[in-house]
Chain A
Amino acid sequence: MMQDTRSDRTSRLLAVGLLAAGTLGCGGGGSGGSDGGNDYVQGSDVPASDADAARFLTQATFGPARDDIDFLRFIGYAAWFEDQRTLPISKEKPYVDALEDDGKDLNQTHRMQIWWKNAMTGKDQLRQRVTWALSQIFVVSDQHSALYGDVKGLCSYYDILATDAFGNFRQLLEHVTLSPTMGKYLNMLRNEKANPAYNIRPDENYAREILQLFTIGLVQLDPDGEPTLDGLNQPIPTYDQSVVEGFAATFTGWTFENAVNWWDWEGNTKPMVAWPDYHETAAKSILDGVVIPAGQTPEADLALALDTIFAHPNVGPFVSKQLIQRLVTSNPTPAYVGRVAAVFDDDGSGERGDLFEVVKAILMDDEARNGHTTMPDTFGKVKEPLLRMTGLWRALDAKADSGKYKVYWPEYAFGQAPLRSPTVFNFYSPTFSPPGTIADAGLVAPELQIATHSLIAEGTNEFYYLVFWGHSDNTSADKDTVKIDLKPLKPLAADPNALLDELDVLLMAGSMSPEMRQILVDHLNATPNTDGGRQRVLEAVYLIVTSPEGAVQK
C-alpha cells in the first residue's frame, strides 16, 4: 500500500543532504519505496523560486507540499516528468477488492477512501491529477441508478483512466467505450440492433455523447480550438442526427464479458465482449462520409468507428483545451491551445494522441509558466473545491491517526465529488460565464458554476471545521479526524511575515497581493501569540484558504 510520499522523500533528501549533494539516491527505500528505483540527479531546468515550483505543482498535482517543492527544485522539470511517468500507478480497485475479501459489504464510502488516499498520498501525483481531469471529461457517475451500488465498476473505470492517462488517446477511447461501467452509464451495454416489428432501434446515448463530449464536440474547430465559421459567420456542425444513428447502430451487440444470457443484468468489470447476433450488420454511415461496410464483425466495426473519430481534426484542440482548463487556466489563448493541439496531432515522433506529451506540453508551455505575470488579470482558474481541500491538506501534511481519509460526501459542502457529477455534463460547463465581472471581461470561469451563494458559504464553513478542528494540536479529535500538521509552522508565528512567506508559497504559490498580506499581518499582530504559535497559524491558514485570492490558482 502507498505510504506517505512526503515523509519518505524527506528522509531521503535529508539523508543525502539535498542542496549539497549532486545526486540523490532512492532505490525504493522506506516501506512504500515505489519510486521505481529512480536515481535522482540534480537537474539544470529547476524552477527559479519556491513560488515557481509551487505554481507548477498546483497545476500538476493535488497540491504542493514543502518536500515536493524542494524535490522539484532539485531534480528540475524534465526529470520530474520522467519520474512521474515511470512511477507505479496508484489504483482503486485493488483497495476495494481487498476490503471485499475481508468481508466488507462495499459501498461508495469505500471508493471515496481510496480516492482520497491516492489523491493525498499517491506518489504518481501527475498521473492522479490528470486522471481526475479525465474523469471530468469522460464522465460516469454514481448518481446514476445503474451505478449507485457498483463500487467495483466505478473503481475499475477510474483505474482505466489512470492507466491510460499517459498512454495514447485512441487506446483510452477504446477502453472507455468497452468499459461496462460506461456501458451502463450511457447504455451501450446490451444495446441491440433494430427490430422494426417492435419499433426498436439502437440506443443513441453513447453514440451522441462520445462525439459531443468526449472527442470532437458539436462544431468544427480551427487548430487553435476556436469555432470554424461559415460564410454567414455561423459555426458549422460536426455531425447531424443521421451520424448519431450510424454510430448507434455500430455500437450494438456488446455486453458483459461473463454474460450467460444477453439480458443478464449484472456482470464483471472486464471489457465488454460482442454477441454478433445482436449486432447490426448492415452498412452504417458515420462521420465525414465514412461508411462502415455491411457484414463486418462487431469488433471490426468498432475499430473503424473509433479510428474515424480519432482521426477527426477536432480531437486535438477539443481535448487539449479542456485539459488546459482543468489543469492550468480557464481562458487559454487560442495560440496556447494551438501549440498543445499540435503536440496532440504529432508528439514529435509521428504519434498522434500521445497524452503524456500533451500533458507535458500543457504544463511546460510559456503561458502556463508565465501567464501569471504576462496576463495577471485573467490568467489561472478558480480552484476546484476538492483541489482547495487537497491543496490545504497536502501543503500541511494532513493525516488522521487511523491513516484513513474518511471524506465521503464532499458534494454537500463543495458541490463536487469524484465520479459523482449530476449528469454526463460534469459539475460545470467549460463555457460557464456568469454575468458581472467575468462576463464583462469576456471570460469563462467553469468552477464558479458550483461556487453558488449557498455552496460558497457551505464551503467556507467546511474550511472553518477542517482548520480549527482538524489540526495536530487538537487532542479531542478522534482517530479518523484528518489533522493538518502545525509543528513546522508554529515556530514561524512569532514573526507574522515569516509565517505568511511560507503559507504564501504553500497555499497560494506566491500569489498573495500586498493588500492581502497587510490585512493578514495586521490581524496576526492583533492575535496574541501566547500558545506557541497555534492560534496565529490557524488564523492565517483559515483566512488564506477562504479568501477570494486563495480560492484562485494563478
Chain B
Amino acid sequence: MNSFGKRLGGGASRRDFLRYGGSSASLALLAQLFSMQRAARADVGAGYKALVCVYLYGGNDSFNLIVPSSNPEYATYAASRQNLAVAQNLLVPIAPATSTGVTWGLHPSVPELATLFGAQKLAIVGNVGTLVAPLTKAEYESGAVEKPPQLFSHSDQSDQWMFGSAVTAAQKIGWCGQVGENLASMNPGSVMAMNISLDGSNTLQMGATVAPYILGVSGPTELTGFWGSQGTLRRQAFDALRQKSNTSKLSQGFADVLNESVTIEATISAALAAATPLATTFPTSWLGQQLEMVARMISVQSAVGQQRQIYFVGKGGFDTHGNQNAEQPDLYADIAQCLAAFQAAMAELDAEPNVTLFTMSEFGRTLSSNAQGTDHGWGSHHLVLGGAVAGGDLYGTMPDLTLDGPDDVGGGRMIPTTSVEQYAATLASWFGVAPGDLSTIFPNLGNFSAPTLGFV
C-alpha cells in the first residue's frame, strides 16, 4: 500500500473476504468463480498485464452509486439531492476496510458490485476529477490556484481525463497512448498497437505516433468477396491500390488505416478461431458485448504475443439531464452485471491478478436537480476491479455533500479531492511504467503529495 494521506484512515490490511462477503448470493457467486478457476486453462502467460478502461460517456452521477448510509451523512445527502435521492433503507451495505465512522451503501441496482467489493476485488476511489493542483473552494473563487480549463464542458473534460492532465492541447495524446509508447518494448514484434478499443476512436489511447487498434465486438472484420480466379486478380489490384503511396495526405491517412486493418485482422482472426470458447456468459448489452470480446482477446493473449494490453470499452447514456430517476437504475445495473461477468471470465481464464479494470467519466454531476435530472459537475467516484486490486476499501477523501458547503463550487459541483493524474498514475505504475516516467506522462503529478494511491 502506498496510500499516504489520501487513504481514509490508512493502515488497513487485506482481510478474509468471508468476513465481509455478506450475502449468501455473493458467496454463491464466489464459489462459482472458484470452480471456474479450477477448470480454467492456463492461457495467460506469466507476467502478462492488461488494463481495461470502462468509459462512462456523458458524466456519471456517481453520487447515487455510492451513498453514505449513516444517519447524519445520509441526511446531508438527502437534503442536497431531494427528489433524486436513493432511499436509505434500499442501499446495499458495503463495509470498507478502513472506517471513519461513516457507513456506506451502494445503489440497490448494483448488488454484484457489493459482492465484488466484499470479495476485495473492487475498490472505490472517491471524488476523482481534473485538477492542476490541490484546490480549496476559496482558491477556486479567488483564482489563486490554477483551475482546469473549460470545466463542465463534455468534450474538454473528457479530453483532460484522457490526456491525464488538465490542459488544452492541439494534438490530443492520451495517457494510455503514452503508456503504450513508454512500454512498447514489452510487445516486441507485435503487429498491432498495445492499445485496443472496442468502442471506436478515443483520445485516451492516442499516442504521439501510434493510434489504437479498433476492433468490433464480433472480432476483426475480414475483407470478403475475393473468390475464384477473378477474385484473386481483384485482390491483387485492391492490394496494389491500398499499398501504393499517395500524394494526398488524406488518401494516405485512409490507406494507413486500411493497411493496418488488413494486416492485423489476419493475426487476430487466426488466434480467435483457435481459442476455447468462454464458459462465462455476458449480458447482451453493448457494454457486455464489448467486455466479452475483451475477455476473448485476453484468452488468446499468448497467441497474439503481447505482454501488455490496454483495452477501451464505452457505455453512453450518463448525461442524465432528464428522466434521471427512471434511467439511472438501468445504467448502474448494466455496469454491475457486466463487471461481474468480466471478473468471472478473468477467473475462468486464471487471469484475475493480470487484469485491472477501471472506470472513467468526464465529470460527476450536480447534487442539485433541474427537476428532471442533473447537470454537469466535476469530481466523481470511480471503480477499480481486479485480482491485483486492494479491494474492499474506499480510497481518497469522500466529499462533503452539503450544498454550498466547503467542497461545492455551486449547485453541488464537487471540487475533486483526488486528481485524475493520481488515479491514472496508480494504474500506470501497476502496469509497469517506471516511477521516473510517471511525471513525464502526468505533468502535474508533482503538485500532489501522493503520486500514487495504492489501490492496485
Contact = CB atoms under 8 A, between A and B. Distances in A.
Interface in B212-231: 213-216, 220-225, 230
Given A145-B327, A199-B403, A454-B214, 10 more contacts: A203-B322, A203-B372, A422-B316, A431-B170, A435-B171, A438-B253, A515-B244, A547-B242, A548-B246, A551-B254
A396 to B, nearest CB: 18
Interface stretch (A315-323, A499-507, A535-543): A535-543
Contact of A448 (B151, B221, B223, B253): B253
Interface of B: 57-58, 79-83, 149-156, 168, 170-173, 177, 197, 200-201, 206-211, 213-216, 220-225, 230, 233-234, 236-238, 240-242, 244, 246-258, 260-262, 264-265, 316-317, 319, 321-323, 327, 367-373, 375-376, 403, 410-412
A204 B369 contact: no
Contacts of B254: 382, 448, 451, 456, 548, 551-552
Contacts of B249: 377-378, 437-438, 441, 443
A191 B168 contact: no
A143 B323 CA distance: 15
A464 B250 contact: no
Interface string A165-195: 0000000000000000000101100111001
B126 to A, nearest CB: 22
A457 B269 CA distance: 13
A458 B216 contact: yes
A195 B323 contact: no
A283 to B, nearest CB: 18
A452 B80 CA distance: 43
Contacts of B210: 435
Given A330-B250, A542-B234, A548-B241, A453 B82 contact: no
Given A212-B153, A454-B215, A548 B230 contact: no
A520 B265 CA distance: 25
A448 to B, nearest CB: 6
Q: How large is the interface on A (under 10, 10 to 19, 20 to 34, 35 or more residues)?
A: 35 or more
Interface of A: 143, 145-146, 184, 186-187, 190-192, 195, 198-205, 208, 212, 218, 235, 237, 241, 244, 330, 376-382, 415, 422-423, 425, 429, 431-439, 441, 443, 445, 448-458, 460-461, 464-465, 468, 513, 515-516, 519-520, 522-523, 526-527, 535, 539, 542-543, 546-549, 551-552, 554
A381 B316 CA distance: 28
A548 B298 CA distance: 32
Contact of B223 (A244, A415, A461, A554): A461
Contacts of A465: 225
Contacts of A204: 321, 370, 375-376
A436 B173 CA distance: 12
A520 B233 CA distance: 11
Contact of B321 (A187, A218, A432, A437): A187
A443 B170 CA distance: 11
Contacts of A458: 216, 221
Given A199-B80, A381-B250, A434 B153 contact: no
Most B CB within 10 A of own CB, among A204, A378, A429? A204
A280 B260 CA distance: 55
Contact of B215 (A212, A453, A516): A453
A539 B149 contact: no
A241 B261 contact: no
14 contacts: A187-B321, A192-B371, A199-B82, A201-B368, A201-B369, A218-B150, A423-B57, A432-B201, A441-B249, A445-B250, A448-B253, A453-B265, A457-B222, A548-B241
Contacts of A429: 155
Contact of B247 (A199, A377, A453, A527): A377
B257 to A, nearest CB: 5
Contacts of A461: 221, 223-225
Given A198-B82, A382-B250, A443-B250, A547 B241 contact: yes
A433 B209 CA distance: 11
Contact of A460 (B223, B237, B246): B223
B319 to A, nearest CB: 8
B336 to A, nearest CB: 20
CB-based closest 8 A-B pairs: A452-B214, A457-B221, A548-B255, A203-B370, A523-B237, A464-B225, A453-B261, A454-B216
A543 B237 contact: yes
Contacts of B258: 456-457, 460, 548
A195 B372 CA distance: 13
Nearest to B249: A441
A464 B237 contact: no
Contact of B370 (A146, A201, A380, A445): A201
A454 to B, nearest CB: 4
Contacts of B58: 423
Contact of B241 (A382, A451, A519): A519
Contact of A434 (B216, B253, B262): B253
A461 B226 CA distance: 10
| A190, A381, A436, A527: residue with the most chain B Cβ atoms closer than 10 Å | A436
A111 B150 CA distance: 37
Contact of A145 (B152, B168, B238, B323): B323
Given A526-B233, A542-B234, A201 B220 contact: no
Nearest to A427: B200
A204 B210 CA distance: 37
